Structure 1
Amino acid sequence: MKVSCLIFFVLFSLFAIAQSTPIPKKKLVVVSSYNQYLTSIKTNSDNELIEIKKAIPNIKLDIRYATNNNFMQQVMYKQARAFARKPVVESLKKIQKELNKKGYGLKIFDGYRPYAVTVEFYKKASDKNFVANPSKGSKHNRGCAVDLTLIDLKTGKEITMPTPYDSFLAAAAAKYKNVSPEAKKNRDFLIAIMGKYQMNVLENEWWHYDFSGWKKFDLMDIPFEKL
């Protein structure tokens, strides 16, 4: 009986120690070295950040963060360019091709976002639910997220969606029900065709799409000027 009590006491003590010992936080790795980035491409060509407009010439760009027309109300990018990892761009090519056959096209608002910009967003955003926490980084920082909408090829104008881009309204959610039938139809059409090519909508932003293989890519903090 004494032996059993002793074993129990030892096991209980070990359990208590384990519970009280803080779990070490995993250090956030952010690649800021351009040479390190180039080395990663040699290891795996999928790591390349490709300029979307050069890969898909007929795609439209509206890089809001290179202007004052954004929720920050200030210029965040020195250049109005959009990049994404190679597999993401390959998906966008297929999506654009299918959309063009239906009379539509993509307009890109944002792609790869340097980590330093995400830090600034989090500092100043009034609603933290719509910006990534720098402690984890963003899929934009990995080059695996794009913000976009649909345009009519004939007019070049955006088609009706539940909200404007970067809206903090509840209607911005991907499954928000209280929207017009036209907006719902267009939103759901975009979500479906993006999902078909491994680009999954973010729950609270109908315009934001994450590449399904994002986990294998590093967070990046390399400015557009170097790419």
Structure 2
Amino acid sequence: MGNLPYLRVIYAFTLIILMGCKEVAPKKGEIIKSKQEVLVKETEVVSKPAERVPPLRVLADTTFVRLADYSNDFMYDLRYATTNNFLKSKVYDCPECYTRVKTAKALLIANEELIKKGFKIKFFDCYRPNSVQYKMWAIVPNPQYVANPVKGSIHNKGGAVDITLATLDGRELDMGTDFDFFGKRAYHDNYDLPKVILDNRKLLKETMESHGFWSIRTEWWHYNLSAATNDKVANFKWECTD
């Protein structure tokens, strides 16, 4: 009986250690869940991409990717897959928006910034196979409107996009003209326009330029990624799923 107080102290101390371990030890499944959360953070860019699509970080910058596989936050009105364009002719077999990986990365970040302000990017044209450039040249062989396919354009390199801005509920902002309007009203340096139009163009231009793009003076919708200027002209063609 003389050892009873001593045994009680040891018992109490053991209980404290066991309880502490119980509180610190993860519950069954918690470690697996934690790893899944890390994977999501590593692959997620803006919104949930398509399943089984490799994250952009593991792809070479010159790889062609489909933007819709990496974000649900863009809008599309790919005009050259319709007859609603200045050519009055459909030159794409089906509408898709592809770019090089480095262009996609810049677009995703730019769009994320715009979403915080209540807007998002809407695409009229993205990567354009060089064979399509030849089709366009055959219809309008004028370098003022269509790049000579022999030299190619940055669209053919996967580094150019034709875009506008829309509200998050899909309403296009007023940019003063429609896409592919060839006239002074579409010029960036034409300031003889209502303030709301100038403000909309300024938002688009400043956002794109802050993420590595540069514009063409005569086309408010056209943006080239500086890092893609020296890339090779490509003729990669996507498959039509329909």
TM bracket, shorter-chain basis? 0.7 to 0.9
The whole-number CA distance in structure 1 between the counterparts of 2:141 and 2:172 is 27
Structure 2: gaps (5+ residues)? 1-58
Q: Please state how far the C-alpha of 1:99 moved relative to its aligned partner.
A: 0.6
Higher relative contact order (CA 8 A, sep 6+): 1
Give the alignment partner of residue 178 of structure 2, picking from 148, 164, 177: 164
User: What are the Cα deviations for residues 145-175 of structure 1, in whole angstroms up to 9, with x where unaligned?
Assistant: 0010000113x11001021101112211222
Q: Please state how far the C-alpha of 1:126 moved relative to its aligned partner.
A: 7.1
Q: Do residues 215 (structure 1) and 238 (structure 2) align?
A: no
Given residue 130 of structure 1, which amino acid in structure 2 is its aligned partner? Y
Superposition RMSD on alpha carbons, in Å?
Answer: 1.7
Alignment TM-score, normalising by the size of structure 1? 0.76
Matched ranges for 1:20-31 at <5 A? none
Rg (Cα) greater in structure: 2
Given residue 215 of structure 1, which amino acid in structure 2 is its aligned partner? T
Q: Do residues 107 (structure 1) and 122 (structure 2) align?
A: yes
The whole-number CA distance in structure 1 between the counterparts of 2:187 and 2:125 is 18
Q: Please state how far the C-alpha of 1:55 moved relative to its aligned partner.
A: 1.3
The whole-number CA distance in structure 1 between the counterparts of 2:109 and 2:213 is 11
Deviates more, 1:80-89 or 1:165-174: 165-174
* Aligned 8 A contact 2:74 2:120 in 1: yes
The whole-number CA distance in structure 1 between the counterparts of 2:144 and 2:105 is 29
Matched ranges for 1:102-181 at <5 A? 102-125=117-140, 128-154=143-169, 156-181=170-195
Could you tell me the percent identity over the aligned residues?
32
* Aligned 8 A contact 2:91 2:136 in 1: no
User: What are the Cα deviations for residues 53-97 of structure 1, in whole angstroms up to 9, with x where unaligned?
Assistant: 111212111111111111111211111100001011001111111
Given residue 171 of structure 1, which amino acid in structure 2 is its aligned partner? R
Matching residue of 1:88: 103
Structure 1: gaps (5+ residues)? 1-43
Q: Do residues 74 (structure 1) and 93 (structure 2) align?
A: no
Q: Please state how far the C-alpha of 1:102 moved relative to its aligned partner.
A: 0.5
The whole-number CA distance in structure 2 between the counterparts of 1:45 and 1:226 is 24
Matching residue of 1:185: 199
**SS state at 2:201 partner:** helix
How many residues are paired up?
183
